């Protein structure tokens, strides 16, 4: 009786869990917060993917726009190593930039993206971006 109840419970649970194998491949970067710090503005991102292997190196050419829409700077954001199906948080401090003067972040292209069976073109094609702050994010 206990075995039957356990099996029924496990079967029901399996219906609630999405099949990871059926999920489309993705690489997502979310601007989670912007925080004013003494040196400037700290940008906090959440990055995750569901590719088959670790991203051993993930670097994006990134453009920051000021409040008037002008390019403030072009820089590289190095997200480092990112394992599959495990979100990672990365922070970047932008010296001499007030968060209130930042209007947009553009991921202009992949500078480096590597892992077993993974290349920069794949990372560029699979990139999805979003923002939880007032700063717009484009990719």
Q: Which tokens sit at 7?
A: 């099996």
How far apart are the C-alpha atoms of 96 and 74, rounded to whole Å?
A: 14
Higher pLDDT, 37 or 9: 37
81-127 pLDDT per residue, tens: 999 999 999 999 999 999 999 999 999 999 999 999 999 999 999 99
Q: What is the DSSP letter of 100?
A: G
In a 3-state reduction of DSSP, which class is residue 70?
A: coil
For the question of whether the overall pTM of this predicted structure is more than 0.85, the answer is no
Give 38-42's long-range contacts (Cβ < 8 A, gap of 24+): 39/93, 39/95, 39/96, 40/93, 40/94, 40/95, 40/96, 40/97, 40/98, 41/93, 41/94, 41/97, 41/98, 41/99, 41/102, 42/91, 42/92, 42/93, 42/94
What CATH number has the domain spanning 24-138? 2.60.40
40-78 pLDDT per residue, tens: 999 999 999 999 999 999 999 999 999 999 999 999 999
């Amino acid at each position: 009786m206990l075995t039957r109840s356990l099996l029924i419970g496990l079967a029901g649970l399996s219906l609630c869990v999405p099949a990871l194998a059926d999920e489309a491949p993705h690489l997502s970067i979310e601007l989670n917060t912007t925080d004013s710090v003494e040196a400037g503005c700290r940008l906090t991102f959440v990055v995750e993917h569901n590719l088959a292997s670790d991203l051993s190196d993930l670097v994006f050419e990134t453009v920051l726009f000021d409040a008037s829409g002008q390019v403030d700077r072009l820089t590289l954001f190095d997200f480092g190593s990112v394992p599959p199906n495990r979100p990672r948080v990365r922070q970047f401090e932008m010296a001499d930039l007030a968060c209130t003067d930042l209007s947009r972040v553009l991921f202009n292209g992949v500078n480096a993206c590597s892992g077993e069976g993974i290349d920069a073109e794949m990372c560029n094609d699979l990139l999805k971006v979003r923002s939880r702050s007032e700063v717009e994010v484009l990719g």
